[in-house]
Amino acid sequence: MLKSVIEYIRSEDGAVTVDWVALTGAIAVAGMAVAAFIYTEGINPLAANLAENIGTATAPVIPAPVAN
């Protein structure tokens, strides 16, 4: 039993597992932060701001090429 524990500690598989746990935890925290923002601020102000910006956006006018 002790031999298998020492073998596990020396192997790289344990480090990869720790990496995946840390990555999964970071993704979970980011998801909770987004959910908390949506719950507290609501999505309506963000959508209204986006709609206003899209409605007032202008595209640059590119002049037509002059024929020679």
Quote the pLDDT of residue 27. 97
pTM exceeds cut of 0.75? no
Domain extent at residue 9: 2-47
Q: Is residue 27 part of a domain?
A: yes
Rounded distance between C-alpha atoms, residue 10 and residue 57, angstroms: 59
Cα 35–chain centre separation: 12
Q: Is residue 60 part of a domain?
A: no
Got the DSSP string for 9-22? Answer: HHSSHHHHHHHHHH
What pLDDT, in 10s, does the model give residues 3-29?
A: 887 887 777 666 778 888 999 999 999
What pLDDT, in 10s, does the model give residues 16-65?
A: 788 889 999 999 999 999 888 887 877 788 788 888 888 887 888 888 88
Q: How many domains does the chain have?
A: 1
